[in-house]
Structure 1
Amino acid sequence: MDGLAAPPAARVSPHQARLPSLTGMRFVAALLVFATHGIFVNVLGDQAVKDGYRAVAINMGSVGVSFFFILSGFILTFVAPPGDTLKRFWRRRFFKIYPNHVLMFAVVGLLAGLPALWLWLPNLLLLHGWWPNYQLMTSVNAVSWTLSCELFFYFSFPFLLSWINRIRPENLGRWFWGTAAVGLAIPFLSRFVIPTGPQPIEGTDIGLYELWFSTHFPPTRALEFLIGMLCARRLLLGLAPRIGLAMSTGILVACYVVSLWLPPVFTQVAMWIVPLALLTTALARADVEDTFTPLRSRPLVFLGDTTYAFYLTHGMVLGTVTYGLQQFVGPGSVGLGVIVLAVCLVLALGLAALLYVCWERPIMRRFSRSRTQVRPG
């Protein structure tokens, strides 16, 4: 297989630059992840407030990560250039994902020290999502487990795209709902078929093996990536259902409210596949049709561009700042805790912007294309 199969003629012309509303939505998804991780740094001084915060925000991170996975498949399919090759595609993806990962790996290693070789080497190679070991899955920079999934997605994408482009248009809807049905079945397999295993997260009703299979295992999470690809293909062909931004957002909010009363294994992925697929399609259609959305402003689009850097840095900022506070100040009040979380957010956003402008973007511009692809000028 020498190249990526060119798609049949589309009814919607893809915007080769980007879809600004989806870029802005990346920032919202990143804030959701930050909100959930803010639970675990334990800076709020009142137990009732902590419990209330946890009850409301516990599933926000799952929504954010699921959106990133669906968006990844959607965008790559929507803007796939005709005549692209495996070598060019994988080169772009390598320089998108690895430089930030390696830099943050080094920074966290310097701040906290590296664990044993069997923990840090799979992390460095982004293979740590393939084994049901909680120490390994969350080693070094704990949030990097999602990159293990993304690496698998990027490897699979050219082959999945070739297959999806050969699906008859009238069958795309069946494939969408079939894939969604498999995603909805994952928590039932995790809970009732996969052995539960020890409980890795204190205070959370989910065992190690069901957590791994439903949340960290790359082939399982590839269902969301595939859903995104199918949504993009349907939109390109003018076959996506016309469900607007307000309705798709309402469906997602309703599902979130229901999720607060469900066991964790059901709220990692299954609750979000269909609502986020509808929301992603609605936002993309709004951009294609040049319809206003509140996510298209320049500040939000810029913040969306920095999301990858923000995602990789926010956990380090939360951990470092709150650890220092607890060492030198001790337990604080609720007000102080809120201020600390706000300061962590601002610091993480500033660090992410610096990393994006000075590291991520220059590397992508310099190395994502070979010298023969760059026009002299």
Structure 2
Amino acid sequence: MLNSLTSLRFFFAFVVFLSHLTFVKTDLVWYNWLKNNVFFEGYLGVGFFFILSGFVLALNYEKKVIDNPNFDKKKFYIARFARIYPLHVLTFLIMLPFVVINVWKGIFEWDIAAANLFLLQSYIPIKDFYFSINNVSWSISTEAFFYTMFPFYVIWLYKFPKLKYILLLIIPAIIVAEPYFSTNRSLEKGIFYINPIVRSFDFILGIITCQIYQKVKTKEINLTKGTMIEFAAIVLLIGFFIFHEDVARAFRYGIYYWIPMMIIVLVFALQKGYFSKLLQHKSLVYLGEISFAFYMIHMIVIKYGNHFLTTTPDFYKIGIYFVIALILSALIFEYFEKPVAKWIKQKF
């Protein structure tokens, strides 16, 4: 992956981490404002990952899929499986005892556990299912659907180039449908935020963003102009963020942030400005590399931490959890994620 985009992965994983600090109770007005108006908007982090996923897969595989009628789907799926599933199973096993004891009260919920283990939870618009065990694993369930459909999405977009415009016409239908689900927040989230078919729009937009990138990546842009473009992309995202309270929650799950996220991915993929140069620093790139482990482990750290650190002030917990999650992420990345993925690819 392009180094600047790798580094950005960590910043958006950190946004998700901030959105899960709802346990912090304080009378400080400034912190409560941040928690309710800034930290709460963790949706944009997930949206970024889904669009980035489509972009990265298209960057690495789109030409291979189109040019080779005998594209080895099995090899592709094994590589994708090796990328996400082992870490999912590890975090599932770490979190399961906590859930059985503290959430299910000693009763093992076989249907929920099975749905989670086999990455089927995002298809079920019931909170007990899609936010089960390691809550954030729902996005891996959705991501697995993207991986399954990627070769087909690429072929469809290639054979029917106008399909991308037809997809955009579906957006009004989603907007019309939203009020019918808004009275049931759980159902609304299960459909507009979790469901892999609905979230495929984010993923496909990532593929389309890559197609745009392939056309403009050789365009000559000097450092000054590139920096201005990157700054404008950041300002655009901030602008969308500032006015997010004026937008229905269902749209903020994905649709509302599509434009700024596509532009962020495209602009920083070009790596023409000063900001993207900074993001190519090896320390930031490494943080991006461990960001998947950080994303998958941080809720576990928070939940176990809140269970055992009952007398620790909440503000201290923020720093403690972040440091522990960061250290565990690096260890998991080096001694589990990389070697296990490598073994699976070699074995199969």
- TM-score band by shorter chain is 0.7 to 0.9
**Quick one: distance in 1 between partners of 2:27 and 2:139?**
32
The 3 A distance-change label for structure 1 pair 46 and 149 is same
Given that 1:149 and 1:218 are in contact with CA atoms closer than 8 Å, whether structure 2 keeps it comes out as yes
CA contact (8 A) 1:190 1:265 kept: yes
Aligned length: 329
Deviation digits for residues 189-209 of structure 1 (CA, Å, limit 9, x no counterpart): 222x34733xxxxxxxxx222
> Which of 205, 208, 212 is 2:186 aligned to?
208
Give the helix-richer structure, 1 or 2. Answer: 2
Contact 1:24 1:296 in 2 (8 A): yes
Equivalent in the alignment of 2:148 = 155
Q: Which residue of 1 aligns with 2:236?
A: 251
Shift of 1:91: 0.6
Match in the other structure for 2:324 = 347
Determine which of 199, 216, 226 is the counterpart of 1:238: 216
Deviation larger for 66-75 or 45-54:
45-54
Select 1:79's aligned residue among 50, 56, 60.
60
Aligned with 1:56 (options 34, 37, 40): 37
Aligned counterpart, 1:223: 201
Distance 1:196 1:240, change over 3 A: farther
Taking structure 1 as reference, are residues 51 and 180 closer, same or farther at Cα in structure 2, changes over 3 Å only? Answer: farther
- Equivalent positions of 1:1-377 (< 5 A) are 18-39=1-22, 41=23, 43-46=24-27, 48-49=29-30, 51-80=32-61, 82=64, 83=68, 84-113=71-100, 115-166=108-159, 175=164, 179-180=167-168, 182-183=170-171, 186-191=174-179, 193-194=180-181, 196-197=183-184, 207-238=185-216, 244-286=229-271, 292-326=276-310, 329=311, 336-370=313-347
Shift of 1:125: 0.6
* More deviation, 159-168/253-262: 159-168
1:357 Cα deviation after fit: 0.5
| CA spacing shift, 1:184–1:68, aligned 2, 3 Å | farther
* Alpha-carbon contact 1:183-1:223 (below 8 Å) kept: no
TM-score (normalizing by structure 1)? 0.80
Deviation at 1:166, TM superposition (A): 3.6
Superposition TM-score, scaled by structure 2 size: 0.86
Q: Is the 8 A contact 1:59 1:268 kept in 2?
A: no
Q: Look up the match of 1:7.
A: none
Distance, in Å, in 1 between the alignment partners of 2:156 and 2:88 is 30
Q: CA RMSD in A?
A: 2.6
1:265 to partner: Cα distance = 1.9
Counterpart contact for 1:132–1:208, Cα < 8 Å: yes
Distance in 1 separating the partners of 2:45 and 2:341: 24
Q: Unaligned 5+ residue runs, structure 1?
A: 1-17, 198-206, 372-377
CA separation in 2, counterparts of 1:309 and 1:89?
A: 21
Q: Give the C-alpha shift of residue 337 in structure 1.
A: 2.6
1:52–1:190 CA distance, 2 compared to 1 (3 A): same
Could you tell me how far apart the structure 1 residues matched to 2:79 and 2:14 are?
Answer: 26
Q: Once the two structures are aligned, what percentage of the paired residues are identical? A: 26
